[in-house]
Amino acid sequence: MEREKIISHLYNALQPDANLRQQAENGIMELQTKDYSYFIENMVDIFTDSRSELQLKLISGIILKNSLHSKDQAIQKAYEEKWCALDSLKRDSLKTKIIGSFSNPDEKIHLLSGSSLGHIARIELPHKMYQDFFASMEMYLLDISKAAAVYEAIGVCCNCLIQETSFVFDDVANSIFNVCMQSLVDKRLDANIKEASLKCLMNSFEALETVFKEESSIRYFMGGIAETACVNHNLAKKSLICLNRFVYLFHALLKPKMFDIVSYINNFWNIADDDTKVQLLEFWTIVSEAGDVDVVNANLDFTLSHVFKALRKGEDYNEQSWNPHKAASACLEAINGVVREKLLHKQTVFEFIDREMLSGDKERIDVAAVALGSVVSGDSEEQLVRLVKVLINNMRDPVTEESCLWALAKICETNFYSIVEHLPFLISQTCDIIWNNYQTSTSAAWILSCIFQSLQKYKNMDKLPLHIPVDTQKQFLTYAYDQINQHFTYILQVLVKATENAKLEDSTLRVALFSALSELIRLTNDANQALLDEFIKYCIQKINECVVAVNKASANYIPIIEDVLSNYVILSEVISQERKKDSSKLLLNPYLDVLKSKPTTAIGEVYIAISHNVSDFSPYLNSLMPFISRDVTCLDEFILKSAINLIGCLANSMQTDFFQASTHLIPLLIQTLSSKEVPKKLKPSILSVFGDIALALGQYFEQYLDVSLMIFDQIVGLDRKSDEKYIDDLRHNVIVMIDCIVMTTSESQKMGEYMYRIVEGIKVLINTGNSISTSSAILNLLLDLNSLYGSNFDLNGRWIESFLYECLYSKDNTLIQEANDAFQRFKFE
C-alpha cells in the first residue's frame, strides 16, 4: 500500500493543478519523514525499475537526489544521520541499483543516477565509508555507456565535499585527475563524454591542488584542453571555460607557464562567435584581477585592440544577457586596475575614446562612453573636461543614455571636480529620471550616490590632493555643498518616493536608491537636522511594516521582503549616527521586533547597526541578550558573524560591566568554536572576541584561563598542511588572544603557572612555519612577555634569537623592521 501511495503522489506531483501538486508534495514529505529507509528504498526501486514510465523515473530520480542532499545545513545533517543509520548491506544494495542506471540511454536518467550516487558518496566519505568510491568509478569508466554518469557522480561528490566539508583529497586527487583526463586525451571518444569530463574537472578543481603542484600535471592538463578544443566548436568554448577556471584557481602555480598559455589563448581571437569572445575577455579579466602585471603589459596593445572591437554592440545585442560588450567593459576595468600606466593616460586609449566621443555618431558615442567609464581613474580632470560635456549632452538620448549615465557615475566617483560646474544640471536631470521612474533610474541614482560620496570623502580629508590648486578645490567644494544644501529636501523627497514606488523584485534599483539616501543623510548640515527627526520616524514605520510583512510572507517572498527590511535597518543606523541626539530609545523596539521575526539577513543588519552605536545601546543589553544568545550558536553565516562582532563591541564598550553577560556568552562562544557545523572561516573571529573580552574584564577573566589555554593547545596541535590558510588565521588570532589575556592577567598566580606551557606552544608554532601575520603576532607577544616577565620562562633563549633572524630574512619589510626593533629590546648573550 505504501508503494502505491508513493507512486500516486509522484504522478500527482506532475499534475497542472497547483492544489493537487501541493498535496502530493506534502504527502511525499510525510512519507519521507515517517520512514526514511523505506522511502529511499522505494524511490530507488521506482527510479531503477525498467518497467517505470519515463516521467515516473524522472520525478522519482529528482526526489531521490533531493532526499540525499540539501543546501540547508540542518536538513543535510539529518539526511546524513538517516542514511548512515541504514544497514550497510542495504546501503550497498541501493548503490548497486543506482549504478545499474548509469548506462540508461536517456541522458536525464543516467545523469540523475550519477548525481544521486555522488550525493551518497558525499555523505559516506567524510564518515570513512565508501572508501573505494573513486577507484570503483575508474573501473566503471571502462564501460563507455556509463562514462557520462561516472563523471556526473565524481563531479557532484567533489563539488559538494569542497563546498560543504573539510574533506582532504590528498589520497584520491591523482585518481580523480586521471579519470577526468583520460577521456580528454582519448581521440576515440565522442564529444558528449568529453564535455562530461570537462564539467567533472571544473567541479573537482579545488580537490586537485596537490596534483597541479607538479609541472607534468599542468602540461598533461594543457595538452588535454588543446586536444578537446579541436573536436568541435562547442567543445572549444567549453574548453576555454575550463581553462579560465583553471587559471582563476591556480594562477600562482602557473606563473612560469603564463606566456605559453597566452600564446595558446590568442589563437582563438579569429573565431567570430560571441561565446568564444566572452571567454577570451574573461581570461584577460582573470589574469588582470590576479595582478599579473608582466603578462598584461606584455600583451596590452594586442589585447586592447580586440577589447575595443568587442565593445561595439552588434545588431543582435541583448541587454539582458552576458555578451562581448559587457565582458569587454569588465575586462577594461580589470586591466586598468593592474597596468603600470592607467589606460586613460595611454595615448592610444585616449585617442580612441576622444575620437569616438566627438564623432557625432550616437552608436560610437555609446561605445566611447562605456570605454571611458571602464578606464577612468583619479587625477584625470584635465582629460575629462571636454568629454564630460559630451556625456552630459547625450545623457538623455535613447541610444546613449544608459552608457553616458554610467560613465558620469564613474567620473563623479573618481574625478568629482570635473563635474562640479555641471552639478545643478546633473541634480536636476537625475532627479527627473528617478522621479518619473524611467528605465535608467538605477544609473541616475548611482550618480547621486557617487556625488554625495565624493563630497563626504573630501569633507573628511585632512589634506586636499595637490594636482589642483587648493584654493580652486575649496571654491569647488563650497559651491557643491551649497548646491546639495539648497536641494537637500527635494532630493530626499525624490529618493523616498522612488523607494516607495520601486518594484519589490527590482533589487538593483533598490540598492542604488538606498545607497544614495544613505550618502545624502551623511551630508546633513545643522539646518536640516529637523528633517532627520521626522525621517527616523518614517524609517521606523517602514521597519515595522516590513516585519509584519516578513512574518506573513511565504518562503518565495521572504528573500524580497528581507532585502527591503535590511535596507531600512541600514538606513536607520545611518540616520542615528547623523542625528545630534541619542536614537537608541527610538530604535530599540523596532530592532527587537526584527530580532523576534522570522530569520532573515535583517537580524544581522540589526546587530551591525547596534555595533556601530554600541555605547548608546549597551544600557539595553538585558533586552538584547536572549537574541544574542540564540544567534551566537546559529548556523546562518551572516547572522552569526554579526552576533560575534557585536559581542566584541559590547565588551570593548562596557569593560568590566560586561562581566555578567560574559558568564553566559563565553560558554556559548566555546560551543560555537568547537562546532563542526559552524563555517570555519568565522572561527578566527571568535578567538579575536575572546581577546576583546579579556581586555574588558581584566583580572575577572582569570576564571577563563583554563579553557583559553585548552583552546591555545588545540590550535597549536593542528597540522598546518591540512588547510594552510585557515590554520594560519587560527594561529594569528589565538596568538593575539593569548597576548590580550596575558596583558590583563599577568599578575595572576595561575597565569604564572601557565607561562611555560604558553612558551612551549610558541616554540611549536615557530618550528612548523607560519604566515607573515602570525610571525608578526608571535613577535609582538614575545615582546610583551619580555616586558612583563623579563628573561624568566626561557624568554631570553637562543630560540628567540633564531626566530628574530628568521623574521629578518623574510621578504616582508614591516616584519623585518619589527624584528630589527625587537633586537634592540632583547639582550642576548
634-646: pLDDT as tens digits? 988 999 999 999 9
pLDDT tens digits, one per residue of 277-310 = 999 999 999 999 999 999 999 999 999 999 999 9
Cα 304 to the center of its chain, rounded Å: 29
pLDDT tens digits, one per residue of 94-153 = 999 999 999 999 999 999 999 999 999 999 999 999 999 999 999 999 899 999 999 999
For residues 513-527, average pLDDT: 94
- State how far the alpha carbon of 337 is from the alpha carbons of 281, 293, 380, in Å: 15, 10, 15
Query: Which of 818, 751, 819 has the alpha carbon at shortest distance from 785?
Result: 751
The mean pLDDT of the chain is: 90
Measured between alpha carbons, how far is 242 from 722 in angstroms, rounded to an integer?
Answer: 26
**Window from 51-60, 315-324, 635-644, 756-765 with minimum mean pLDDT:** 315-324
Query: Which of 444, 403, 432 has the alpha carbon at shortest distance from 319?
Result: 403
Which residue pairs, CB below 8 angstroms and at least 24 apart, start in 761-765? 761/712, 761/713, 761/716, 762/735, 763/799, 764/716, 764/717, 765/716, 765/731, 765/735
Instruction: Please report the pLDDT score of residue 1 as a whole number.
Output: 47
Cα 343 to the center of its chain, rounded Å: 28
Query: Which of 512, 491, 392 has the alpha carbon at shortest distance from 443?
Result: 512
Query: Which of 785, 799, 786 has the alpha carbon at shortest distance from 745?
Result: 785
pLDDT tens digits, one per residue of 235-262 = 889 999 999 999 999 999 998 899 999 9
Measured between alpha carbons, how far is 621 from 374 in angstroms, rounded to an integer?
Answer: 47
Q: Return the top range by mean pLDDT from 182-191, 568-577, 802-811.
A: 568-577
Share of the chain above pLDDT 70, in %: 99
Which residue pairs, CB below 8 angstroms and at least 24 apart, start in 297-302? 297/339, 297/340, 298/259, 299/262, 299/266, 300/335, 300/339, 301/348, 302/266
Are residues 113 and 104 in contact, defined by beta-carbon separation less than 8 angstroms? Answer: yes
| Secondary structure of residue 780 in the 3-state scheme | helix
DSSP assigned state of 213: T
Residue 829 in this model has a pLDDT that exceeds 60: no
Instruction: Please report the pLDDT score of residue 822 as a whole number.
Output: 81
For residues 426-450, average pLDDT: 95
pLDDT tens digits, one per residue of 178-216 = 999 988 888 888 889 999 999 999 999 999 999 999 999
End-to-end CA distance of the chain: 87
Higher-pLDDT residue of 462 and 81 is: 81
pLDDT band at 474 (very low <50, low <70, confident <90, very high): confident
Residue 466 in this model has a pLDDT that exceeds 80: no
Measured between alpha carbons, how far is 781 from 691 in angstroms, rounded to an integer?
Answer: 13
Measured between alpha carbons, how far is 141 from 179 in angstroms, rounded to an integer?
Answer: 8
- State how far the alpha carbon of 61 is from the alpha carbons of 106, 131, 134, 152, 227, in Å: 13, 24, 22, 14, 34
pTM of the model: 0.83
Measured between alpha carbons, how far is 459 from 19 in angstroms, rounded to an integer?
Answer: 59
pLDDT band at 610 (very low <50, low <70, confident <90, very high): very high
Measured between alpha carbons, how far is 297 from 521 in angstroms, rounded to an integer?
Answer: 42
Give just the sign of the alpha carbon dihedral 339, 342, 347, 348. positive
H runs (alpha helix) in 460-528:
470-486, 488-501, 507-521
190: Cβ contacts below 8 Å, ≥ 6 apart: none
